[in-house]
Amino acid sequence: MGEFLEFQDVSKHYGGVKAVEHASLSIKRGEFFSLLGPSGCGKTTLLRTLAGFEHPDTGRIFLNGEDITDLPPHERKVNTIFQSYALFPHLTVWDNIAFGLKIARRPKAEIRQEVEKMLAMIQMEEYAYKKPAQISGGQKQRVAIARALVNKPQVLLLDEPLAALDLKLRQRMLLELDLIHDEVGITFLYVTHDQGEAMSLSDRIAVMSRGKVEQLGTPAEIYEAPRNSFVAAFIGDTNFFEGTVAEKFAGDAAGTTAQGTLFGEPAKDYSRLKVDGFPDLVCYNDKQIREGEHVAVSIRPEKFRIWREAPPAEHAYVNVIEGEVEDVIYLGAQTKFWVRAGEYRLCVVRQHSRYLLDEKPIKWRDHVWLTWHADDGFMLEHYREEDEELMQLPPEEIGETEEAPAAGAAAGGEGGAAE
């Protein structure tokens, strides 16, 4: 229980709906911690149990060693930024920021000093006497932050704070939030469905789905080493291969030696996978997956290398498959290719680090080779077929995108993973 903020086995049900199920998290002091997941995954409910607006059915919440589970919201040393900001429309910006201090009956001089400090921090001194209806969305956002921070909370709770802003403003506020966190140094608990926001701001992320914490880790851990197909598909783009482990063998990560010729005691940390329609694939196996077992592998689009001609034979740790380009989406800094390879439709991203116009580009219908290193595929602990729906596959027929998810699931097999 040494951690600053602890959720211990928190569950919350609404009627038959399990909003949060046995969620346990510990958050460090000063950390920028995100709860990330699709809508209805229970992230907001979990935040509201910390704010005090919901009482968990089971489990306890500890803040700074104190059990706050049964405290009403106004007795908790946490403050919330609401999705709609919830600024008091009848009060000026100044009075909104002063609200908490006035409730706490602080001396007038102190209130003035603190409010002015906050106004200076959010650079809105000249808007102090405007009403919320007279300021822009980004300004409301900043006032909401100031109104919460002026109370010096131990944790600042942010419930989708950028969701109401347009894209440009969202990107700017993202940077501002980061600056504010660096400046005030208090713990931030940030709830979002936007993986980009969570990845760019957070020290650590808890990915949630259906009321459960699916994975907890730094943004890089979650992106590079997803535990299951949900995390892999929800965070960024990915490709799944399904197969069975044909053989386990020892190898060295650098992969410069031929297979199985490592010196010393060989650790059996590589696996040869049998995947329908492909030559055997080599993949790093850090899981306790035995020979003959079924396994799913996630490979991020940027891990592939795409070749117009057959790549030079490298070594045994590089997988090579062939396919045909089905779709090319040029994005400036990079190009996204959809490559048909056997039953799979693979997403490949090529970063343009060289001057693109000097190259002969890869076009639609081109025959291509894809290579990737055995270390760049990541074996999943769990694989669920329905998580494929989270991947953004281009439609194969016009109108397909408007079909019901059930129809999408049927077509999904043609997409990223095996049928």
Q: Which is nearer to another protein, 68 or 205 (CB)?
A: 68
Q: Burial letters for 163-176: b for 16+ Cβ neighbours within 10 Å, e otherwise? A: ebbeeebbeebbeb
Q: Min. distance of Cβ 154 from another protein in angstroms?
A: 13
Q: Min. distance of Cβ 144 from another protein in angstroms?
A: 9
Q: Which is nearer to another protein, 104 or 333 (CB)?
A: 104
Q: Which is nearer to another protein, 55 or 290 (CB)?
A: 55
Q: Min. distance of Cβ 100 from another protein in angstroms?
A: 4
Q: Which is nearer to another protein, 91 or 225 (CB)?
A: 91
393: Cα within 13 Å, side-chain hemisphere: 28
Q: Min. distance of Cβ 341 from another protein in angstroms?
A: 50
Query: Rounded to an integer, what distance in angstroms lies between the CA atom of residue 229 and that of residue 298?
Result: 8
Q: Which is nearer to another protein, 127 or 278 (CB)?
A: 127
Query: Rounded to an integer, what distance in angstroms lies between the CA atom of residue 256 and that of residue 266?
Result: 15
Q: Which is nearer to another protein, 80 or 285 (CB)?
A: 80
Nearest to 75 by CA among 63, 65, 60, 87: 63
Q: Which is nearer to another protein, 74 or 360 (CB)?
A: 74
Q: Which is nearer to another protein, 41 or 148 (CB)?
A: 148
Whether 327 contacts 362, CB under 8 Å:
no
Q: What does each C-alpha distance from 240 to 53, 273, 275 come to in angstroms?
A: 40, 13, 11
What tokens does 77 get?
């040393």
Q: Min. distance of Cβ 105 from another protein in angstroms?
A: 10
Q: Min. distance of Cβ 101 from another protein in angstroms?
A: 9
Nearest to 392 by CA among 222, 226, 195: 195
Q: Min. distance of Cβ 297 from another protein in angstroms?
A: 44
Whether 297 contacts 280, CB under 8 Å:
no
Whether 204 contacts 31, CB under 8 Å:
yes
Within 10 angstroms of residue 83's Cβ, the number of other Cβ atoms is 16
Q: Which is nearer to another protein, 78 or 201 (CB)?
A: 78
307: Cα within 13 Å, side-chain hemisphere: 13
Query: Rounded to an integer, what distance in angstroms lies between the CA atom of residue 73 and that of residue 67?
Result: 13
Residues that bind another protein (CB under 8 A): 51-53, 72-74, 78-80, 82, 84, 86-91, 99-100, 103-104, 131, 133-134, 147-148, 151
Query: Rounded to an integer, what distance in angstroms lies between the CA atom of residue 202 and that of residue 216?
Result: 12
Q: Min. distance of Cβ 150 from another protein in angstroms?
A: 9
φ, ψ dihedrals at 3, nearest 5°: -70, 160
Residues 6+ apart with CB under 8 A from 124: 93, 135, 139, 142, 143, 146
Q: Min. distance of Cβ 82 from another protein in angstroms?
A: 5
